[in-house]
Structure 1
Amino acid sequence: MARIGLFFGSNTGKTRKVAKMIKKRFDDATMADPLNVNRATPEDLAQYPFLILGTPTLGEGLLPGLSADCENESWEEFLPKLQDVDFSGKTVAIYGLGDQIGYAEEFLDAMIVLYDFVIERGAKVVGAWPTEGYEFSHSEAVVDGQFVGLALDLDNQSGLTEQRLEAWLQSIAADFDLAL
Structure 2
Amino acid sequence: MKTDRMPRLALPPTVITQDSEPLHQHRRLAILRRVLNDDSLPLRARVAAAPILLDAQPVSRIVRLTVDDVTDDETTVTVRLGDPPSPLPEPVADLMRADIQSRQHLPYASSRSAQRLFPGRQPGQPMNPVSLQVHLRKIGVPPQRGRASAIRQFVNQAPAPVIAKALGYHDMTATRLVTEAGGTWNRYATGDEARYLRWVR
Structure number, greater radius of gyration: 2
TM-score between the two structures when normalised by the length of structure 2: 0.27
TM-score between the two structures when normalised by the length of structure 1: 0.29
Which structure is higher in strand share? 1
Which structure is higher in helix share? 2
Q: Choose between structure 1 and 2 for higher RCO, CA contacts under 8 A separated by at least 6 residues.
A: 2
